[in-house]
Amino acid sequence: MTKVVVAMSGGVDSSVAAALLQRQGYEVIGMMLRLWSEPGREASNRCCAPAAMNIARRVAGRLGIPFYAVNAQESFRNIVVQNFLDGYARGQTPNPCLACNRQIRWEFLLARALALGADFMATGHYVRIVRSPDGPVRLFEAVDTHKDQSYVLHVLDQGKLQHALFPLGNLTKSEVRQIAADLKLPAATSKESQDLCFLAGQDYRDFLQRYQPHQAQPGPIVDRTGKQLGEHSGLVNYTIGQRKGLGIAAAEALYVLGKDQARNTLVVGFADELGSCELLTESVNWLVGFAPAEPLDAEVKIRYSAKKAAARVTPLLDGSAHVQFKEPARDITPGQAAVFYVDGEVLGGGLIAKMTKKLARVESELSPSDVIPVA
């Protein structure tokens, strides 16, 4: 019998993933990561709080499958949380789910699944994969485009995709909840959260102020010419495109355009100054294992919640890529990922390094509310 480890979280998605795989005849093992939480807030981490761990154990008991808890606190703190802090220190807005999927879930946990003799690892992500006997494993958007989570899985390579299963890719969220209710799974009514798991429900700005208090230092607000218009209360308190709360009287509405981290300066301007037609990524992960030989026309997402936009993607010799949009894209944000799609298939993606226009020297920021929840 083919053995599969299901990464469980106590939520409805991973619980139904385990149930469906068992129904399909797999030998299923449940495995849950114990992730880092800020000292004193352990009970509030929505991914691995004691209550969530208890639900996952109850689901495993209901299904009659083995269940293991794996301590990943040190790795999660050193990799995911540190990446979050380092990114903000550089004036970027990192997406912790990208680092978590690349290095924690699909390296740390996958290694332990394979060590148990598993052939596959499965998660509750809404995404589809297509296998062919003589070709690469291909990754596609989920049927339920409102729940699609392919954006954060562009970090997977063929070595990982060969061991991946995503049982929910052809289902809608309502169908998943109905399955959980029909099976009387303890997670059937579990609520979803858009918060970052390690923030334990707190505002990310409060977290950054405790770990990086320099980000809360006041400084000048300037326009693109460098003219000072006012004073900000700390760069961490502002997001790209923000209009309210600037405290500046002007004849025309002003918006946050970006940040100059080195000078602790907030850059503002008018609505027509937002956005760019071009960006550069850092090294791109091409899911088939190599870059296309020629530029390609694709649809590009610049953050999880963004709509895909038509663009020309040109692979560069250093492994990065140049992206030129047909229409200006707002909120291009260094630290987020640009992910490339053709006909619903994820071809690859890389972290956004900068915009390539007048604002290229300005570091950008985006709220973590655009970060995807853990499946």
φ and ψ at 256, to 5 degrees? -75, 125
Helices H, strands E: what count in the chain? 9, 18
Task: From the candidates 47, 48, 197, 277, give the one annotated as an active-site residue.
Answer: 197
Please indicate whether residue 97 is annotated as part of the active site. no
Dmax over CA atoms of the chain, in Å, equals: 71
Distance CA 140, CA 159 (A): 17
Burial class (CB in 10 A: 0-12, 13-18, 19+), 213: exposed
Collapsed DSSP state (helix, strand, coil) of residue 200: coil
What is the spatial distance between Cα 54 and Cα 136, in angstroms, rounded to a whole number?
38
- CA-closest candidate to residue 301, choices 194, 156, 146, 151: 151
Query: Which of 47, 48, 100, 277 is the catalytic position?
Result: 100
Starting at the edge strand found earlier in the chain, the sheet holding 265-269 runs 228-232, 219-222, 265-269, 255-260
Is residue 197 part of the annotated active site? The answer reads yes
Q: Which one-letter amino acid corresponds to residue 166?
A: F
Catalytic residue IDs = 100, 197
